[in-house]
């Protein structure tokens, strides 16, 4: 995975709204960026050390499915829809 080797602070796209975010402190985490009702938002999925790429991609798919239904892809919404 090429983005896992990045060291500079910033957001690195994996695709479909999934990003690896590297903070100035060096902390690495997965985030999901999306737009709903004209508002751009981002949602943390977890630290790179705790969430694998495969798990982060699965979470992103579940979030995109909720967005198609015009529902906010929060952890609570995913739990109510029988996911996560």
Residue 67 scores a pLDDT above 80: yes
pLDDT for 4 equals 64
Q: What is the pLDDT of residues 43-66, one digit of tens each?
A: 999 999 999 999 999 999 999 999
Residue 50 to residue 27: CA distance in whole angstroms: 12
pLDDT at residue 28 is higher than 70 = yes
The count of other CB atoms within 10 Å of the CB of residue 16 is 14
What domains sit in the chain, N to C, each tagged with a CATH number? 3-80 (3.30.160.390)
* pTM reported for the whole predicted model: 0.82
- For residue 15, give the nearest of 55, 62, 60 by alpha carbon: 60
Percent share of the chain, pLDDT over 90:
67
Spatial separation of the C-alpha atoms in residues 15 and 28, rounded to whole Å: 17
Band of pLDDT at residue 42, cut at 50, 70 and 90? very high
Burial class (CB in 10 A: 0-12, 13-18, 19+), 14: middle
């Amino acid at each position: 995975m090429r983005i896992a080797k990045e060291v500079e602070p910033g957001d690195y796209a994996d695709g479909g709204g999934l990003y690896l975010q590297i903070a100035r402190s060096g902390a690495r985490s997965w985030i999901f960026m999306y737009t709903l009702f004209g508002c751009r938002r981002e949602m943390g999925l977890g630290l790179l050390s705790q969430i694998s790429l495969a798990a982060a991609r699965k979470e992103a798919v579940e979030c995109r499915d909720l967005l198609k239904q015009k529902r906010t892809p929060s952890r609570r919404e995913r739990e109510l829809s029988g996911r996560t």
